[in-house]
Amino acid sequence: MHNNIEIVLFSNKFSHVIISKKRKEKMFNEEQDYLINNDQFLNRITISRLIKIIHHHPNDVVKIFSLLKRCKAITTFKVLDFSIKKKIIQGLSSIKKMELLNNLPVDDRVDFLENLPKNILKDLIKYLNPEEKYKTLESLGYPKNSIGRLMIPYYIAVQETWRVQDVLDYIRKEVKNSDVIEIVYIVNQKGKLIDDIKIREFLLVDPKTRVSELLIDGRYTEFLNITDTEEKANRMFSMSNRISLPVIDDKNFLLGIVTIDDILWVLNENYREDFQKIGGMEALNQSYLNVPLYQLIKKRAGWLILLFIGEMLTTTVMQQFSSVIEKAVVLALFIPLVVSSGGNSGSQAASLIIQAMSLGEVKIKDWWIVMRREIICGFFLGSILGLTGFIRIVAWHKINLFNYGSHWILVGITVFLSLIGVVLWGTLSGSMLPFIIKKLRGDPASSSAPFVATLVDVVGLIIYFSISCLLLHGTLL
């Protein structure tokens, strides 16, 4: 009876917990529904919190954006993943769509539009006013990954013949149309770039002073060409304490500016893509949790199939040397040790060269210098690993942890020389593969660590068994 009462009490308490939990979940859902429909709340919270709400309510993202004020919507739209942007722009009303697209900065607009299918791109271009349409189509005409795609056509440019007071009046008038007002660009009457001056210099002199009097003879103005690459822009920003750089054409006409925040954003995107490619897959171009499952499988399957086919060559090599393994089974014990060492050294070399290339530290013409350095590195690294492997064989045999047979010293020498050869090959192939792919106008990041490892596995086995046949012929073989 007492036990029955306890069971009933426990059941009631357990039921109460379940009901309480369901009630809390219901209240939470009701609260969330209220918040995502409350325009005052959505426009008051921070961008980071708004993004979290959007990620938690992917099905309500269009509704949320329709309630945002223009400034909040534009700022939020810029930092969202491409898939969410696409969903928003396709779901918004024509008026909201027009408002959002026309008020996006040109570089952000171009970055979004260029990744859309052509039919959707043509449809969205219609929503742009003539001025914004011209700027967008002009930017889309520049080569991909060039400064032209990142360039902002909003800046403060004044002529050298103006007086300081004219400059200050012009800045007050045009400040709303410029992304960066800290720097004023000086041009001649034809619009060619002469120099740039910080705005504080205009504030510290007599308003009647002419701009030409502020120019310093011999001062070098750093600038970018419209066709320069993002990598070059990154190098220039890293070497100078600048928040923006002017962009000119081949005739020195000022076309726009590039800001450091855009370069940092590009670097972050490129880093994410390169990191994924080095891992042996296609770039996702969006956050992991927002990638549809079928796309995740598709982007990973291609490389895995290619690597699997490559590893089949390893099996072929093993079959060719099957008679060697049958006669000296002890050699099979060291296959993982030798081959993995070569793969690891190759992955190290490939990663170093890919990073150096992305930072502009190494160019294609430097391949011979890199090869010489890696040959030396590979030899010494292989010698260190080979000596370690040899000592391990001697130690295990002497303390009777494993019996390598009467020719154990030859087995140790075989492993020693094999490690030198395989590690040397690994560092050499890992360092040269990015150069080959770059020369073929491919992406060096595609010479990923798994691909290098597969290449080293096949050749490494050939090196290992070839050395074994030479040293052990007439003894174990």
Is residue 268 in a domain? no
356, 450: one domain: yes
**Contact predicate 341/423, CB 8 Å:** yes
Is 334 domain-assigned? yes
Q: Are residues 68 and 200 in the same domain?
A: no
- Asked if residue 103 belongs to a domain, the reply is yes
**What local confidence, expressed as pLDDT, does residue 17 receive?**
46
DSSP 219: P
Interior/surface letters 230-258, b for 16+ CB within 10 angstroms, e for the rest: bbebbebbeeeebebbbbbeeeeebbbbb
Residue span of the structural domain in which 254 resides: 157-260
* Residue carrying the six token digits 């893509």: 273
Asked whether residue 27 is assigned to any structural domain, the reply reads yes
CA–centroid distance for 274 within its chain:
5
| Domain-located, residue 147 | no
The pLDDT of residue 15: 46
Indicate if 200 and 321 belong to the same structural domain.
no
Q: What is the pLDDT of residues 161-216, one digit of tens each?
A: 999 999 898 888 877 666 667 888 999 888 889 888 888 888 889 989 998 888 87
Q: How far apart are CA 372 and CA 359, in angstroms?
A: 21
What CA–CA distance (Å, rounded) separates 476 from 435? 41
Q: Are residues 255 and 346 in the same domain?
A: no
The SS3 call for residue 420 is: helix
The answer to whether residues 400 and 446 belong to one domain is yes
Residue 258's nearest CA partner among 365, 409, 106 is: 106
- Does 299 share its domain with 223? no
Q: Are residues 82 and 172 in the same domain?
A: no
Do residues 17 and 78 both lie within one domain? no
Which of 242, 260, 278 represents a domain boundary (last residue)? 260
Q: Quick one: 235 and 133 in the same domain? A: no
Same domain membership, residue 122 and residue 54? yes
If one counts the domains in the chain, the total is: 4
Residue with tokens 């798994």: 450
- Cα distance between the two ends of the chain: 82
Backbone angles phi, psi at 389, to 5 degrees: -65, -40
Q: What are phi and psi of 82, to 5 degrees?
A: -60, -45
Q: Is residue 414 situated within a structural domain?
A: yes
**Residue 243: CATH number of its domain:** 3.10.580.10
pLDDT, position 25: 58
Are both 5 and 87 inside the same structural domain? no
Structural domain contains residue 322: yes
| 10-residue stretch averages of pLDDT, the chain, 477 residues long | 46 48 56 69 86 84 86 87 87 86 86 84 85 83 83 86 90 72 87 88 90 76 86 84 88 89 79 68 67 77 79 83 81 88 90 83 90 95 94 88 81 93 94 88 70 85 91 79
Are 302 and 409 in a shared domain?
Answer: yes
| 281 belongs to a structural domain | no
